[in-house]
A and B are shown apart, each in its own frame.
Chain A
Amino acid sequence: MSVNSSWKSNLPLYIGALILSIIFFYPLYVLILITFVPAPLNNLSPYPPQIPPGFTFYNIIQAYSSLNLTGPVTRSFYVAMMVGGLSLALGIPAAYGLNKIGVRTANKFIIFFFLINMMPGIVVAIPISVEFLKLGLSNIYGVALAQELVVLPLSIFIILGGFRALPSDLENQARVDGANLPTTMYRILIPMNRSAILVAFLLSWMTSWDEFTYAVIISPVKSTFPVQLYNYVTRAVSFEASAFALTFTIPVIIVAVVLQKYLKSQSFTGGLSS
């Protein structure tokens, strides 16, 4: 790709890119403003200025000292880990099986899984919540079990793509050498397929970290970070909430930018792209 040297012919392009960049960066800018500008000059004034009139760490300090942050963040972390782990525990065997039964049959199963994924979250969440209450699962374990529903189809599909890219002789050779199926799985198939498995885990993790519908319906109290943030927003402690929001948005942005590299990779093409 050669960069067009004539600056003038690219001018409309630059103007367009600039306008779009502003449109997409502005909400993030507002979040930064609310976090770092002293509240009296900001939220509490009727028309807050667009250019920061002052700078303070007070909001962040206030948020960390007055709001209970460790609880929701730890719970979110546990839930995300459980969801990621379940994705692998259910997804790896399912993907292995799907890789073996022939593509035509496998596709029917995959379509079924994705159809299930289209089921509206709120429709499924309310009956689940009623049943989980009877089972004593109206807590973060219930949330993790329900969130798994959202990520499992995608995880299976990604891991399946990885398995399809592996030569089938690999497994046959291990079996000829006397390894049984669990050993082959543990020693050969999983290590060889680790990038797809990692992507499936990270995507599940991120989806769970972000998930709100199941979390708020199944466990409205003592719940995950998005539900806690929602509670703070409805209680109108906005500048503390914004400090809260900003500090936990930065790591997620980093993960998303890292994942973006993988999103273009082959792992999502079912292993048959080339």
Chain B
Amino acid sequence: MYYIKFHFLQTFNRIKDYDGTMPKSHNLKYIAFIIPALVYVSALSIFPAALSVYRSFLSPGGSYTFSNYSALLHYGLVKALIDTMLVSIGALILQLFLALFIAMIMVKPFKGNRLFSSLVIIPYGISTVVSAFIFSQIFSAVGGYANSFIVDLGFRPIDWVATSSSSLSVVVIADYWKNTPLVALILFSGLSGLSPSMYEAAKTDGAGAFRRFFSITLPNLAPIMAIALLIRGVSEFNIFALPLVIIGYNPPLITTLIYEFYQTSSATIYYSYAASTILLFIILGYASIVLWKGGAKTYER
């Protein structure tokens, strides 16, 4: 999904220079074809989102109130937001780091390249709940494979879900598996676009492998890495199934907090509307920054 979105952003530059050949008078007629999709999408996303914002200011009795928001502060909204932020940043760093290594190996011609590429792409096809299940088995306190490895090495076993920080690290580690392949594909397409002659020239000038990496690869890859980070960032912030399956509601992330309030009773659902509203505005703010930055870049050229 994100790989394709990335492609969309890439081709956006090319598309904008090209204009259709149909005369303007025909345009209005063809908009009719788009209307069903537009209505569908608006009815099932803009309308519910607006409903969520409106109801976040209602009490269960139906009068207007701010109490949903003040109650959220009492129920640990700030910590949930900070934890979500930590998970997102941790996951992005880990994924980018691993993906960079994978992409750099994928561009090299060597025997076994195809096998390596297929092996690394497999987790992309595995359902999120399945991968969450696997990692909950690896990191369970009793009968977990991570602990048996640690014990084999002669250390003391770790109770992974005992503290908030270790629980969050488990979520970050579980997230790398499903999402790194996509980031790697994005970086791979960027790397394979770099010309080998640049590296040849640097080699003749006496630049070592590290120098070549930091002076050629990284700067040339930076724009694509930025796109990958921005697109992944939004979905990292919405991470839901993984933490729900692996660590449950403790410590809560913003999404599991919303879900817990929704599950509890018909009165606490108003808290989840309020928390949803906060999440919505964070994402909208982030998305508009992405578009504004991306848009500025598009028109610079």
**Chain B interface helix/strand/loop/mixed:** helix
Among A93, A107, A207, which residue has its beta carbon within 8 angstroms of that of B1?
Answer: A207
Q: Is the CB of A47 within 8 A of B147?
A: yes
Q: Is the CB of B40 within 8 A of A152?
A: yes
Among A43, A114, A263, which residue has its beta carbon within 8 angstroms of that of B5?
Answer: A114
- The answer for the CA separation of A245 and B277 in the assembled complex, in Å, is 35
Among A34, A126, A148, which residue has its beta carbon within 8 angstroms of that of B52?
Answer: A126
Mask for B99-110, Cβ within 8 A of A = 1, else 0?
Answer: 001100100111
A31 on interface, CB distance cutoff 8 Å? yes
- Nearest B residue (CB) for A93: B33
Q: Is the CB of B48 within 8 A of A124?
A: yes
Mask for A112-132, Cβ within 8 A of B = 1, else 0?
Answer: 111110111111101110110
Mask for B26-48, Cβ within 8 A of A = 1, else 0?
Answer: 11001111101110111011101
B121 on interface, CB distance cutoff 8 Å? yes
B199 on interface, CB distance cutoff 8 Å? no
Distance (whole angstroms) from the CB of A173 to the closest CB of chain B: 15
B296 on interface, CB distance cutoff 8 Å? no
Instruction: Take A20-B120, A118-B283, A126-B272 as given contacts and tell me if A249 and B11 are in contact as well, using a CB distance cutoff of 8 Å.
Output: no
Instruction: Take A122-B255, A122-B276, A157-B4 as given contacts and tell me if A253 and B122 are in contact as well, using a CB distance cutoff of 8 Å.
Output: yes
A69 on interface, CB distance cutoff 8 Å? no
Q: Is the CB of A210 within 8 A of B111?
A: no
B201 on interface, CB distance cutoff 8 Å? no
- The answer for the CA separation of A272 and B135 in the assembled complex, in Å, is 41
A213 on interface, CB distance cutoff 8 Å? yes
Among A97, A124, A248, A256, which residue has its beta carbon within 8 angstroms of that of B31?
Answer: A97
Interface residue total, chain A, C-beta cutoff 8 A: 108
Mask for A1-37, Cβ within 8 A of B = 1, else 0?
Answer: 1111000001001101100110111011011011000
B58 on interface, CB distance cutoff 8 Å? no
Distance (whole angstroms) from the CB of B201 to the closest CB of chain A: 20
A252 on interface, CB distance cutoff 8 Å? yes
Give chain A residues whose Cβ lies under 8 Å from the Cβ of B124.
256, 260
- Nearest A residue (CB) for B281: A123
Mask for A65-104, Cβ within 8 A of B = 1, else 0?
Answer: 0000000000000000000000000110110111111111
Among A43, A49, A98, A210, which residue has its beta carbon within 8 angstroms of that of B127?
Answer: A210
- The answer for the CA separation of A48 and B146 in the assembled complex, in Å, is 9
A273 on interface, CB distance cutoff 8 Å? yes
Distance (whole angstroms) from the CB of A3 to the closest CB of chain B: 6
Q: Is the CB of A45 within 8 A of B143?
A: yes
A140 on interface, CB distance cutoff 8 Å? no
Among B12, B105, B177, which residue has its beta carbon within 8 angstroms of that of A17?
Answer: B105
Q: Is the CB of B11 within 8 A of A269?
A: yes
Q: Is the CB of B46 within 8 A of A116?
A: yes
Give chain A residues whose Cβ lies under 8 Å from the Cβ of B118.
257, 260
Distance (whole angstroms) from the CB of B230 to the closest CB of chain A: 11
B61 on interface, CB distance cutoff 8 Å? no
Residue among B5, B20, B34, B112 with max Cβ neighbours from chain A (10 Å): B34
Mask for B259-286, Cβ within 8 A of A = 1, else 0?
Answer: 1001000000100110011011001000
Instruction: Take A48-B148, A111-B291 as given contacts and tell me if A257 and B121 are in contact as well, using a CB distance cutoff of 8 Å.
Output: yes
- The answer for the CA separation of A255 and B3 in the assembled complex, in Å, is 17
Q: Is the CB of B240 within 8 A of A212?
A: yes
A60 on interface, CB distance cutoff 8 Å? no
Q: Is the CB of A229 within 8 A of B129?
A: yes
Give chain B residues whose Cβ lies under 8 Å from the Cβ of A252.
125-127
Give chain B residues whose Cβ lies under 8 Å from the Cβ of A34.
137
- The answer for the CA separation of A111 and B55 in the assembled complex, in Å, is 28
A46 on interface, CB distance cutoff 8 Å? yes
* CB under 8 Å from chain B, chain A span 122-179: 122-124, 126-128, 130-131, 145-146, 148-149, 152-154, 156-158, 168
Give chain A residues whose Cβ lies under 8 Å from the Cβ of B105.
13, 16-17, 20
- The answer for the CA separation of A79 and B143 in the assembled complex, in Å, is 35
Instruction: Take A118-B234, A156-B37, A249-B127 as given contacts and tell me if A107 and B98 are in contact as well, using a CB distance cutoff of 8 Å.
Output: no
Q: Is the CB of A107 within 8 A of B41?
A: no
Give chain B residues whose Cβ lies under 8 Å from the Cβ of A28.
122-123, 126, 134
Q: Is the CB of B122 within 8 A of A24?
A: yes
Contact residues of B with A, CB < 8 Å? Answer: 1, 3-5, 7-8, 10-12, 14-16, 18-22, 24, 26-27, 30-34, 36-38, 40-42, 44-46, 48-49, 51-52, 55, 98, 101-102, 105, 108-112, 116, 118-138, 142-145, 147-149, 151-152, 157, 177, 180, 185, 234, 237-238, 240-241, 244-245, 255, 258-259, 262, 269, 272-273, 276-277, 279-280, 283, 287, 291
Q: 12 A-B residue contacts at CB 8 Å?
A: A16-B101, A93-B33, A94-B34, A101-B22, A107-B16, A119-B45, A123-B48, A123-B280, A157-B4, A212-B129, A242-B137, A257-B121
**Which 3 pairs show the lowest CB-CB distances between chains A and B?**
A256-B125, A97-B33, A102-B20
